Structure 1
Amino acid sequence: MSMAVVGMIAGMALGFAGYFGGFGAFLLVAALGAIGFVVGRFLEGDLEVGDFFRSRDDRRDRRP
């Protein structure tokens, strides 16, 4: 599934939450979507736990 389709589905979910549930539901769906995105990247191996605790200089030195 392309990132455009995933973005469209996420936008539609946020739109429905905002329309039917109000602004609080919109924020809840957005926050849970962001958490799900980070967990998904972690499970795919694109992120490591240490990435959240390193300084920017350490990240630049580690990656070529």
Structure 2
Amino acid sequence: MTTSSLGLIAGLLLGVAAAAGGFTGFLVALILGAVGYLIGGHRDGEFDLGALLRGRGRG
């Protein structure tokens, strides 16, 4: 199991635990799952979060 998969599972479980049901709970679980996947993928070296979060230079 890769770190990104583990991060996705952890994020989804935290989302379900944090928001107990409903559409809002679904959205929170989805967002936390995506964040967990991104952090895990960054740790595995699948993509660079610094490049995504860094602003474009001036000129």
TM-score (norm 2): 0.51
RMSD between superposed Cα atoms in Å? 3.0
More helix as a share of residues? 1
Higher RCO (C-alpha under 8 Å, 6+ residues apart):
2
Q: How many residues align?
A: 41
Greater radius of gyration (CA): 1
| Distance in 2, Cα, partners of 1:53 & 1:33 | 18
TM-score (norm 1): 0.48
Identity %: 40
Runs of 4+ in 1 over 3 A off after TM superposition: none
| Distance in 1, Cα, partners of 2:23 & 2:53 | 32
| Distance in 2, Cα, partners of 1:49 & 1:34 | 13
Cα-to-partner distance string for 1:3-52 (whole Å, 9 max, x where unaligned): xxxxxx8xxx7xx89xx610010000000000001001000011123331
| Distance in 1, Cα, partners of 2:25 & 2:52 | 27
